[in-house]
A and B are shown apart, each in its own frame.
Chain A
Protein backbone atom coordinates (compact mmCIF):
# COMPACT_ATOMS: atom_id res chain seq x y z
CA UNK A 1 0.00 0.00 0.00
CA UNK A 2 1.31 3.45 -0.83
CA UNK A 3 2.13 5.92 1.94
CA UNK A 4 -0.66 8.15 0.73
CA UNK A 5 -3.30 5.47 0.97
CA UNK A 6 -1.94 4.53 4.37
CA UNK A 7 -2.42 8.12 5.50
CA UNK A 8 -5.94 8.23 4.08
CA UNK A 9 -6.92 5.05 5.92
CA UNK A 10 -5.37 6.38 9.13
CA UNK A 11 -7.33 9.64 8.85
CA UNK A 12 -10.54 7.75 8.09
CA UNK A 13 -10.21 5.57 11.18
CA UNK A 14 -9.45 8.64 13.32
CA UNK A 15 -12.58 10.25 11.95
CA UNK A 16 -14.69 7.23 12.89
CA UNK A 17 -13.18 7.29 16.39
CA UNK A 18 -13.99 11.00 16.76
CA UNK A 19 -17.57 10.36 15.64
CA UNK A 20 -17.97 7.52 18.13
CA UNK A 21 -16.73 9.73 20.96
CA UNK A 22 -19.06 12.48 19.78
CA UNK A 23 -22.01 10.09 19.79
CA UNK A 24 -21.04 8.81 23.25
CA UNK A 25 -20.84 12.40 24.52
CA UNK A 26 -24.21 13.26 23.00
CA UNK A 27 -25.97 10.20 24.48
CA UNK A 28 -24.53 10.99 27.92
CA UNK A 29 -25.46 14.67 27.77
CA UNK A 30 -28.95 14.08 26.38
CA UNK A 31 -29.57 11.90 29.43
CA UNK A 32 -30.68 8.91 27.34
CA UNK A 33 -28.92 6.74 29.93
CA UNK A 34 -28.65 7.73 33.56
CA UNK A 35 -25.37 9.43 34.43
CA UNK A 36 -24.96 6.90 37.24
CA UNK A 37 -24.41 4.19 34.62
CA UNK A 38 -22.98 6.13 31.72
CA UNK A 39 -20.49 8.92 32.29
CA UNK A 40 -19.67 11.06 29.27
CA UNK A 41 -16.22 11.17 27.71
CA UNK A 42 -15.44 14.29 29.71
CA UNK A 43 -15.98 12.65 33.10
CA UNK A 44 -14.18 9.52 31.96
CA UNK A 45 -11.24 11.62 30.80
CA UNK A 46 -11.25 13.42 34.16
CA UNK A 47 -11.11 10.04 35.95
CA UNK A 48 -8.17 9.00 33.77
CA UNK A 49 -6.30 12.22 34.48
CA UNK A 50 -6.94 11.86 38.20
CA UNK A 51 -5.76 8.25 38.11
CA UNK A 52 -2.61 9.25 36.27
CA UNK A 53 -1.87 12.12 38.64
CA UNK A 54 -2.33 10.03 41.77
CA UNK A 55 -0.39 7.22 40.14
CA UNK A 56 -3.07 4.65 41.01
CA UNK A 57 -4.14 4.07 37.42
CA UNK A 58 -0.52 3.86 36.30
CA UNK A 59 0.18 1.20 38.90
CA UNK A 60 -2.96 -0.78 38.01
CA UNK A 61 -2.17 -0.60 34.31
CA UNK A 62 1.36 -1.82 35.04
CA UNK A 63 0.04 -4.79 36.99
CA UNK A 64 -2.38 -5.84 34.29
CA UNK A 65 0.21 -5.36 31.55
CA UNK A 66 2.78 -7.40 33.45
CA UNK A 67 0.34 -10.28 33.97
CA UNK A 68 -0.81 -10.20 30.37
CA UNK A 69 2.76 -10.24 29.03
CA UNK A 70 4.02 -12.88 31.48
CA UNK A 71 1.03 -15.16 30.94
CA UNK A 72 1.19 -14.68 27.20
CA UNK A 73 4.94 -15.31 27.17
CA UNK A 74 4.48 -18.48 29.19
CA UNK A 75 1.73 -19.63 26.83
CA UNK A 76 3.92 -18.83 23.80
CA UNK A 77 6.87 -20.86 25.04
CA UNK A 78 4.69 -23.82 26.00
CA UNK A 79 2.37 -23.57 23.01
CA UNK A 80 5.04 -23.13 20.34
CA UNK A 81 7.25 -25.79 21.95
CA UNK A 82 4.49 -28.37 22.23
CA UNK A 83 3.06 -27.36 18.86
CA UNK A 84 6.43 -27.91 17.16
CA UNK A 85 6.77 -31.40 18.66
CA UNK A 86 3.24 -32.31 17.67
CA UNK A 87 3.65 -30.82 14.21
CA UNK A 88 6.88 -32.72 13.56
CA UNK A 89 5.67 -36.13 14.65
CA UNK A 90 2.81 -37.82 12.88
CA UNK A 91 2.58 -40.21 15.83
CA UNK A 92 2.19 -37.37 18.33
CA UNK A 93 -0.59 -35.95 16.18
CA UNK A 94 -2.46 -39.24 16.25
CA UNK A 95 -2.00 -39.86 19.98
CA UNK A 96 -2.10 -36.42 21.55
CA UNK A 97 -4.10 -34.13 19.31
CA UNK A 98 -7.54 -35.70 20.02
CA UNK A 99 -6.89 -35.30 23.76
CA UNK A 100 -5.89 -31.67 23.28
CA UNK A 101 -8.90 -31.01 21.09
CA UNK A 102 -10.98 -32.34 23.96
CA UNK A 103 -9.41 -30.05 26.55
CA UNK A 104 -9.29 -26.98 24.35
CA UNK A 105 -13.01 -26.08 24.31
CA UNK A 106 -13.08 -25.91 28.14
CA UNK A 107 -13.71 -22.26 28.95
CA UNK A 108 -10.86 -20.77 30.93
CA UNK A 109 -13.40 -19.47 33.44
CA UNK A 110 -14.42 -23.07 34.15
CA UNK A 111 -10.78 -23.93 34.77
CA UNK A 112 -10.39 -21.03 37.20
CA UNK A 113 -11.92 -22.86 40.21
CA UNK A 114 -9.52 -25.76 39.65
CA UNK A 115 -6.59 -23.35 39.53
CA UNK A 116 -7.86 -21.66 42.71
CA UNK A 117 -7.98 -24.99 44.54
CA UNK A 118 -4.32 -25.60 43.77
CA UNK A 119 -2.90 -22.09 43.84
CA UNK A 120 -5.34 -20.01 45.88
CA UNK A 121 -6.36 -16.47 45.00
CA UNK A 122 -2.81 -15.66 44.01
CA UNK A 123 -0.67 -14.08 41.35
CA UNK A 124 0.36 -17.55 40.15
CA UNK A 125 -3.27 -18.52 39.74
CA UNK A 126 -3.83 -15.56 37.40
CA UNK A 127 -0.78 -16.48 35.33
CA UNK A 128 -1.83 -20.12 35.07
CA UNK A 129 -5.30 -19.02 34.03
CA UNK A 130 -3.90 -16.76 31.30
CA UNK A 131 -1.40 -19.35 30.11
CA UNK A 132 -4.08 -22.03 29.94
CA UNK A 133 -6.40 -19.89 27.86
CA UNK A 134 -3.77 -18.39 25.56
CA UNK A 135 -1.94 -21.67 25.02
CA UNK A 136 -4.35 -23.26 22.56
CA UNK A 137 -4.27 -20.89 19.64
CA UNK A 138 -0.47 -20.92 19.67
CA UNK A 139 -0.22 -24.68 20.06
CA UNK A 140 -2.67 -25.46 17.30
CA UNK A 141 -1.37 -22.90 14.81
CA UNK A 142 2.24 -23.98 15.41
CA UNK A 143 1.37 -27.66 15.07
CA UNK A 144 -0.53 -26.93 11.87
CA UNK A 145 2.19 -24.68 10.46
CA UNK A 146 4.99 -27.15 11.20
CA UNK A 147 3.04 -30.11 9.85
CA UNK A 148 2.05 -28.39 6.62
CA UNK A 149 5.56 -27.42 5.47
CA UNK A 150 6.17 -28.53 1.88
CA UNK A 151 7.69 -32.00 1.86
CA UNK A 152 10.38 -30.72 -0.49
CA UNK A 153 12.02 -28.63 2.23
CA UNK A 154 12.26 -31.66 4.51
CA UNK A 155 14.08 -33.43 1.67
CA UNK A 156 16.37 -30.45 1.14
CA UNK A 157 17.17 -30.60 4.84
CA UNK A 158 18.03 -34.30 4.61
CA UNK A 159 20.17 -33.76 1.52
CA UNK A 160 22.10 -30.99 3.24
CA UNK A 161 22.60 -33.19 6.28
CA UNK A 162 20.85 -30.88 8.76
CA UNK A 163 20.17 -32.37 12.18
CA UNK A 164 16.61 -32.72 13.44
CA UNK A 165 16.93 -29.72 15.73
CA UNK A 166 18.56 -27.66 12.97
CA UNK A 167 15.64 -28.60 10.72
CA UNK A 168 13.19 -27.46 13.38
CA UNK A 169 15.04 -24.21 14.09
CA UNK A 170 16.00 -23.25 10.54
CA UNK A 171 13.21 -24.66 8.41
CA UNK A 172 10.11 -25.88 10.24
CA UNK A 173 9.60 -23.00 12.69
CA UNK A 174 10.45 -20.12 10.34
CA UNK A 175 8.19 -21.74 7.78
CA UNK A 176 5.38 -21.94 10.31
CA UNK A 177 5.85 -18.32 11.39
CA UNK A 178 2.95 -16.91 9.35
CA UNK A 179 0.66 -19.43 11.08
CA UNK A 180 2.29 -18.89 14.48
CA UNK A 181 1.66 -15.15 14.24
CA UNK A 182 -2.04 -15.83 13.89
CA UNK A 183 -1.84 -17.79 17.16
CA UNK A 184 0.23 -15.12 18.90
CA UNK A 185 -2.32 -12.50 17.96
CA UNK A 186 -5.30 -14.52 19.16
CA UNK A 187 -3.39 -15.51 22.29
CA UNK A 188 -2.65 -11.89 23.09
CA UNK A 189 -6.34 -10.97 23.06
CA UNK A 190 -7.15 -13.99 25.21
CA UNK A 191 -4.31 -13.07 27.60
CA UNK A 192 -5.69 -9.55 28.11
CA UNK A 193 -9.21 -10.84 28.73
CA UNK A 194 -8.03 -13.47 31.20
CA UNK A 195 -5.72 -11.04 33.00
CA UNK A 196 -8.80 -8.92 33.72
CA UNK A 197 -10.96 -11.93 34.63
CA UNK A 198 -8.21 -13.24 36.93
CA UNK A 199 -7.91 -9.87 38.60
CA UNK A 200 -11.65 -9.75 39.13
CA UNK A 201 -11.66 -13.21 40.70
CA UNK A 202 -8.63 -12.76 42.93
CA UNK A 203 -8.82 -9.02 43.70
CA UNK A 204 -5.03 -8.93 43.41
CA UNK A 205 -5.04 -5.39 42.02
CA UNK A 206 -4.79 -4.29 38.40
CA UNK A 207 -7.42 -2.88 36.05
CA UNK A 208 -9.74 -5.86 36.57
CA UNK A 209 -9.86 -5.23 40.30
CA UNK A 210 -10.28 -1.49 39.66
CA UNK A 211 -13.29 -2.08 37.45
CA UNK A 212 -14.82 -4.62 39.85
CA UNK A 213 -14.48 -2.38 42.92
CA UNK A 214 -15.68 0.70 41.03
CA UNK A 215 -18.75 -1.23 39.85
CA UNK A 216 -19.58 -2.29 43.39
CA UNK A 217 -19.61 1.31 44.55
CA UNK A 218 -21.26 2.75 41.42
CA UNK A 219 -18.25 4.86 40.41
CA UNK A 220 -19.04 4.79 36.72
CA UNK A 221 -16.22 7.12 35.58
CA UNK A 222 -13.67 4.82 37.25
CA UNK A 223 -15.16 1.80 35.46
CA UNK A 224 -15.06 3.56 32.13
CA UNK A 225 -11.55 4.88 32.61
CA UNK A 226 -10.42 1.30 33.26
CA UNK A 227 -12.23 0.07 30.16
CA UNK A 228 -10.70 2.81 28.01
CA UNK A 229 -7.20 1.94 29.23
CA UNK A 230 -7.86 -1.73 28.49
CA UNK A 231 -8.91 -0.78 24.98
CA UNK A 232 -5.71 1.19 24.55
CA UNK A 233 -3.62 -1.76 25.79
CA UNK A 234 -5.31 -4.05 23.29
CA UNK A 235 -4.76 -1.55 20.49
CA UNK A 236 -1.11 -0.88 21.34
CA UNK A 237 -0.13 -4.52 21.90
CA UNK A 238 -1.71 -5.50 18.59
CA UNK A 239 0.09 -2.68 16.82
CA UNK A 240 3.44 -3.79 18.25
CA UNK A 241 2.74 -7.36 17.19
CA UNK A 242 1.81 -6.16 13.69
CA UNK A 243 5.08 -4.29 13.40
CA UNK A 244 7.03 -7.36 14.49
CA UNK A 245 5.08 -9.46 12.03
CA UNK A 246 5.64 -7.08 9.14
CA UNK A 247 9.38 -7.14 9.82
CA UNK A 248 9.75 -10.87 10.42
CA UNK A 249 7.56 -11.82 7.46
CA UNK A 250 8.97 -9.24 5.05
CA UNK A 251 10.07 -12.09 2.78
CA UNK A 252 6.51 -12.89 1.83
CA UNK A 253 5.48 -12.03 -1.71
CA UNK A 254 3.36 -8.89 -1.78
Chain B
Protein backbone atom coordinates (compact mmCIF):
# COMPACT_ATOMS: atom_id res chain seq x y z
CA UNK B 1 0.00 0.00 0.00
CA UNK B 2 1.57 3.32 -1.03
CA UNK B 3 2.03 5.68 1.90
CA UNK B 4 0.90 8.75 -0.08
CA UNK B 5 -2.72 7.58 -0.29
CA UNK B 6 -3.65 10.42 2.01
CA UNK B 7 -1.42 13.39 1.47
CA UNK B 8 -1.13 14.29 5.11
CA UNK B 9 2.40 13.80 6.38
CA UNK B 10 2.73 10.44 8.13
CA UNK B 11 3.33 10.76 11.81
CA UNK B 12 3.55 8.37 14.73
CA UNK B 13 0.44 7.82 16.74
CA UNK B 14 0.08 10.84 19.02
CA UNK B 15 -1.50 10.00 22.32
CA UNK B 16 -0.65 12.92 24.55
CA UNK B 17 -1.41 15.75 22.08
CA UNK B 18 -3.91 18.48 23.02
CA UNK B 19 -7.45 17.29 22.25
CA UNK B 20 -8.54 17.92 18.67
CA UNK B 21 -12.19 17.41 19.45
CA UNK B 22 -13.98 18.41 22.62
CA UNK B 23 -17.58 17.82 23.68
CA UNK B 24 -18.39 19.99 26.70
CA UNK B 25 -21.66 19.24 28.47
CA UNK B 26 -23.37 18.41 25.18
CA UNK B 27 -27.06 17.53 25.24
CA UNK B 28 -29.58 17.09 22.47
CA UNK B 29 -33.34 16.95 22.56
CA UNK B 30 -35.83 16.63 19.74
CA UNK B 31 -38.79 18.54 21.06
CA UNK B 32 -39.49 17.00 24.46
CA UNK B 33 -37.53 13.82 23.84
CA UNK B 34 -34.07 13.92 25.31
CA UNK B 35 -31.70 11.91 23.09
CA UNK B 36 -28.29 12.73 24.57
CA UNK B 37 -27.36 14.20 27.93
CA UNK B 38 -24.19 15.58 29.49
CA UNK B 39 -21.68 14.34 26.94
CA UNK B 40 -18.12 15.25 27.94
CA UNK B 41 -15.56 13.80 25.60
CA UNK B 42 -12.09 14.68 24.40
CA UNK B 43 -10.48 13.06 21.41
CA UNK B 44 -6.80 13.50 20.62
CA UNK B 45 -5.58 14.10 17.10
CA UNK B 46 -4.80 10.77 15.47
CA UNK B 47 -6.77 8.81 18.01
CA UNK B 48 -9.06 5.98 16.97
CA UNK B 49 -12.24 6.02 19.05
CA UNK B 50 -14.78 3.22 18.74
CA UNK B 51 -18.35 3.78 19.92
CA UNK B 52 -20.67 1.01 21.01
CA UNK B 53 -24.06 0.90 22.67
CA UNK B 54 -27.46 -0.74 22.31
CA UNK B 55 -29.57 0.09 19.26
CA UNK B 56 -31.29 3.47 19.48
CA UNK B 57 -29.07 4.78 22.27
CA UNK B 58 -27.85 7.75 20.22
CA UNK B 59 -24.64 6.64 18.49
CA UNK B 60 -25.61 8.05 15.12
CA UNK B 61 -26.85 11.23 16.77
CA UNK B 62 -23.52 11.68 18.54
CA UNK B 63 -21.73 11.24 15.23
CA UNK B 64 -24.01 13.78 13.55
CA UNK B 65 -23.19 16.33 16.25
CA UNK B 66 -19.52 15.83 15.53
CA UNK B 67 -20.16 16.09 11.79
CA UNK B 68 -21.83 19.47 12.31
CA UNK B 69 -25.04 18.11 10.79
CA UNK B 70 -26.86 18.55 14.09
CA UNK B 71 -26.68 21.47 16.51
CA UNK B 72 -26.51 20.58 20.21
CA UNK B 73 -29.34 21.95 22.33
CA UNK B 74 -26.95 22.24 25.28
CA UNK B 75 -23.19 22.52 25.61
CA UNK B 76 -20.70 22.87 22.81
CA UNK B 77 -18.75 20.76 20.34
CA UNK B 78 -15.43 22.23 19.34
CA UNK B 79 -12.70 21.20 16.99
CA UNK B 80 -9.12 22.46 17.21
CA UNK B 81 -10.25 24.92 19.85
CA UNK B 82 -13.01 26.49 17.75
CA UNK B 83 -16.72 25.80 18.13
CA UNK B 84 -18.08 23.66 15.31
CA UNK B 85 -20.48 25.73 13.20
CA UNK B 86 -21.53 23.23 10.60
CA UNK B 87 -20.22 20.51 8.30
CA UNK B 88 -16.68 21.03 7.07
CA UNK B 89 -14.83 19.24 4.25
CA UNK B 90 -12.11 18.49 6.77
CA UNK B 91 -14.54 16.11 8.53
CA UNK B 92 -15.60 13.19 6.34
CA UNK B 93 -18.70 11.13 7.12
CA UNK B 94 -19.31 7.52 6.10
CA UNK B 95 -23.09 7.23 6.44
CA UNK B 96 -24.85 4.12 7.68
CA UNK B 97 -27.22 4.09 4.67
CA UNK B 98 -24.62 3.95 1.90
CA UNK B 99 -27.27 3.43 -0.79
CA UNK B 100 -28.68 6.92 -0.20
CA UNK B 101 -25.30 8.55 0.20
CA UNK B 102 -24.01 7.85 -3.33
CA UNK B 103 -25.00 9.63 -6.54
CA UNK B 104 -26.72 6.85 -8.51
CA UNK B 105 -26.13 8.68 -11.82
CA UNK B 106 -22.39 8.74 -11.36
CA UNK B 107 -20.07 5.79 -11.82
CA UNK B 108 -17.77 4.64 -9.02
CA UNK B 109 -15.05 6.88 -10.45
CA UNK B 110 -17.52 9.75 -10.76
CA UNK B 111 -18.61 9.44 -7.15
CA UNK B 112 -15.03 9.66 -5.94
CA UNK B 113 -14.47 12.55 -8.34
CA UNK B 114 -17.24 14.51 -6.60
CA UNK B 115 -15.09 14.92 -3.49
CA UNK B 116 -12.11 15.99 -5.58
CA UNK B 117 -14.26 18.48 -7.52
CA UNK B 118 -15.51 19.92 -4.24
CA UNK B 119 -11.91 20.40 -3.11
CA UNK B 120 -11.00 22.05 -6.40
CA UNK B 121 -8.46 19.39 -7.41
CA UNK B 122 -7.54 20.17 -11.05
CA UNK B 123 -9.00 17.73 -13.56
CA UNK B 124 -5.66 16.27 -14.79
CA UNK B 125 -4.74 15.24 -11.27
CA UNK B 126 -8.04 13.53 -10.53
CA UNK B 127 -7.79 10.34 -12.57
CA UNK B 128 -4.66 9.00 -10.88
CA UNK B 129 -6.02 9.76 -7.41
CA UNK B 130 -9.39 8.15 -8.21
CA UNK B 131 -7.67 5.00 -9.48
CA UNK B 132 -5.50 4.89 -6.37
CA UNK B 133 -8.44 5.21 -3.98
CA UNK B 134 -10.64 2.70 -5.80
CA UNK B 135 -7.75 0.27 -5.86
CA UNK B 136 -7.35 0.68 -2.14
CA UNK B 137 -10.94 -0.27 -1.35
CA UNK B 138 -10.82 -3.13 -3.84
CA UNK B 139 -12.91 -1.50 -6.55
CA UNK B 140 -10.09 -0.96 -9.01
CA UNK B 141 -11.78 -3.11 -11.63
CA UNK B 142 -15.19 -1.49 -11.20
CA UNK B 143 -14.46 2.18 -11.80
CA UNK B 144 -17.08 2.46 -14.56
CA UNK B 145 -19.91 0.73 -12.72
CA UNK B 146 -22.93 2.62 -11.50
CA UNK B 147 -23.98 2.08 -7.86
CA UNK B 148 -27.06 0.15 -9.03
CA UNK B 149 -24.68 -2.37 -10.59
CA UNK B 150 -22.78 -2.90 -7.33
CA UNK B 151 -23.46 -5.00 -4.24
CA UNK B 152 -24.14 -3.36 -0.88
CA UNK B 153 -20.62 -4.03 0.30
CA UNK B 154 -19.15 -2.53 -2.86
CA UNK B 155 -21.30 0.58 -2.46
CA UNK B 156 -20.10 1.00 1.10
CA UNK B 157 -16.47 0.64 0.05
CA UNK B 158 -17.13 3.26 -2.61
CA UNK B 159 -18.48 5.63 0.01
CA UNK B 160 -15.33 5.10 2.06
CA UNK B 161 -13.17 5.86 -0.98
CA UNK B 162 -15.06 9.11 -1.53
CA UNK B 163 -14.52 10.10 2.11
CA UNK B 164 -10.79 9.43 1.82
CA UNK B 165 -10.75 11.58 -1.33
CA UNK B 166 -11.78 14.48 0.91
CA UNK B 167 -8.36 14.15 2.53
CA UNK B 168 -10.00 14.70 5.91
CA UNK B 169 -8.34 15.14 9.27
CA UNK B 170 -11.35 13.56 10.96
CA UNK B 171 -13.09 10.46 9.64
CA UNK B 172 -16.52 9.66 11.08
CA UNK B 173 -17.92 6.22 10.32
CA UNK B 174 -21.36 4.90 11.15
CA UNK B 175 -21.33 1.11 11.12
CA UNK B 176 -19.41 1.16 7.85
CA UNK B 177 -18.69 -2.57 7.66
CA UNK B 178 -22.12 -3.83 8.69
CA UNK B 179 -23.00 -4.96 5.17
CA UNK B 180 -19.76 -6.76 4.42
CA UNK B 181 -18.90 -10.44 4.52
CA UNK B 182 -16.38 -11.54 7.15
CA UNK B 183 -13.43 -11.77 4.76
CA UNK B 184 -13.92 -8.33 3.23
CA UNK B 185 -14.67 -6.89 6.63
CA UNK B 186 -11.38 -8.14 8.07
CA UNK B 187 -9.48 -6.91 5.06
CA UNK B 188 -11.01 -3.45 5.29
CA UNK B 189 -10.47 -3.31 9.05
CA UNK B 190 -6.75 -3.81 8.50
CA UNK B 191 -6.82 -1.36 5.61
CA UNK B 192 -8.57 1.25 7.72
CA UNK B 193 -6.27 0.83 10.68
CA UNK B 194 -3.30 1.15 8.31
CA UNK B 195 -4.66 4.37 6.79
CA UNK B 196 -5.36 5.88 10.17
CA UNK B 197 -1.90 5.06 11.50
CA UNK B 198 -0.12 6.21 8.36
CA UNK B 199 -1.94 9.49 7.97
CA UNK B 200 -2.69 10.52 11.50
CA UNK B 201 -6.38 10.99 10.66
CA UNK B 202 -8.62 11.02 13.72
CA UNK B 203 -11.24 8.29 13.59
CA UNK B 204 -14.66 8.08 15.23
CA UNK B 205 -16.07 4.66 14.52
CA UNK B 206 -19.58 3.54 15.47
CA UNK B 207 -20.20 -0.19 15.41
CA UNK B 208 -22.44 -2.96 16.70
CA UNK B 209 -19.60 -5.42 16.58
CA UNK B 210 -17.79 -5.44 19.94
CA UNK B 211 -14.75 -7.27 18.60
CA UNK B 212 -14.44 -4.79 15.78
CA UNK B 213 -14.60 -1.92 18.26
CA UNK B 214 -11.68 -3.36 20.22
CA UNK B 215 -9.66 -4.53 17.24
CA UNK B 216 -9.69 -1.09 15.63
CA UNK B 217 -9.84 1.28 18.57
CA UNK B 218 -7.36 2.97 20.81
CA UNK B 219 -10.33 3.52 23.08
CA UNK B 220 -13.90 2.18 23.20
CA UNK B 221 -16.69 4.46 24.33
CA UNK B 222 -19.81 2.78 25.63
CA UNK B 223 -23.11 4.67 25.41
CA UNK B 224 -26.01 3.87 27.71
CA UNK B 225 -29.55 4.65 26.56
CA UNK B 226 -32.48 6.79 27.80
CA UNK B 227 -31.09 9.37 27.54
CA UNK B 228 -27.88 8.57 25.67
CA UNK B 229 -24.80 9.23 27.78
CA UNK B 230 -21.26 8.01 28.04
CA UNK B 231 -21.31 5.16 30.55
CA UNK B 232 -17.72 3.99 30.20
CA UNK B 233 -14.56 4.77 28.34
CA UNK B 234 -12.41 1.65 27.97
CA UNK B 235 -8.78 2.15 26.98
CA UNK B 236 -7.57 -0.55 24.61
CA UNK B 237 -4.28 -1.78 26.00
CA UNK B 238 -3.29 -3.83 22.97
CA UNK B 239 -0.08 -3.13 21.05
CA UNK B 240 -0.68 -0.76 18.11
CA UNK B 241 0.32 -3.39 15.56
CA UNK B 242 -2.75 -5.66 15.30
CA UNK B 243 -3.33 -8.96 13.64
CA UNK B 244 -6.63 -10.63 12.85
CA UNK B 245 -5.62 -13.91 14.47
CA UNK B 246 -3.22 -13.20 17.32
CA UNK B 247 -4.82 -9.94 18.48
CA UNK B 248 -8.19 -11.59 18.80
CA UNK B 249 -6.62 -14.28 21.01
CA UNK B 250 -4.76 -11.79 23.21
CA UNK B 251 -5.93 -12.07 26.87
CA UNK B 252 -6.34 -8.27 27.03
CA UNK B 253 -8.61 -8.47 23.98
CA UNK B 254 -10.69 -11.25 25.51
CA UNK B 255 -10.99 -9.47 28.84
CA UNK B 256 -12.16 -6.28 27.17
CA UNK B 257 -14.61 -8.20 25.00
CA UNK B 258 -16.06 -9.69 28.15
CA UNK B 259 -16.38 -6.26 29.78
CA UNK B 260 -18.11 -4.78 26.71
CA UNK B 261 -20.41 -7.78 26.43
CA UNK B 262 -21.45 -7.44 30.07
CA UNK B 263 -22.05 -3.74 29.56
CA UNK B 264 -24.29 -4.27 26.53
CA UNK B 265 -26.23 -7.00 28.32
CA UNK B 266 -26.85 -4.71 31.24
CA UNK B 267 -27.61 -1.60 29.16
CA UNK B 268 -30.09 -3.43 26.92
CA UNK B 269 -31.89 -5.05 29.81
Contacts and interface: CB of A to CB of B under 8 A. Distances in A.
A152 B101 contact: yes
B95 to A, nearest CB: 6
Nearest to A155: B69
B105 A175 contact: yes
Nearest to B90: A161
A156 B106 CA distance: 14
Interface string A243-254: 000000111110
Contacts of A155: 69, 87, 93, 95
A70 to B, nearest CB: 29
Interface residues of B, number: 27
Interface in B80-110: 86-89, 91-93, 95, 97, 100-101, 103-107
A251 B105 contact: yes
Contacts of B146: 250-251
A252 B67 CA distance: 30
B118 interface: yes
B192 interface: no
Interface string A214-254: 00000000000000000000000000000000000111110
Contact of A161 (B87, B97, B106): B87
B105 A153 contact: no
Contacts of B115: 160
A152 B97 contact: yes
B63 to A, nearest CB: 12
B89 A159 contact: yes
Contact of A252 (B92, B114, B148): B148
Nearest to B168: A159
Contact of A159 (B69, B104, B106): B69
A190 B155 CA distance: 41
B34 interface: no
Contacts of B67: 159
A194 to B, nearest CB: 32
B89 A251 contact: no
B119 interface: yes
B191 interface: no
Contacts of B92: 159
A254 to B, nearest CB: 8
A50 interface: no
A27 interface: no
B117 interface: yes
Given A156-B101, A251-B106, 17 more contacts: A153-B100, A159-B93, A160-B89, A160-B114, A160-B115, A160-B166, A162-B118, A166-B117, A166-B118, A170-B103, A174-B105, A175-B105, A249-B105, A251-B107, A252-B104, A252-B148, A253-B148
11 contacts: A155-B95, A158-B87, A159-B89, A159-B93, A159-B166, A161-B89, A170-B103, A170-B117, A249-B105, A251-B146, A252-B104
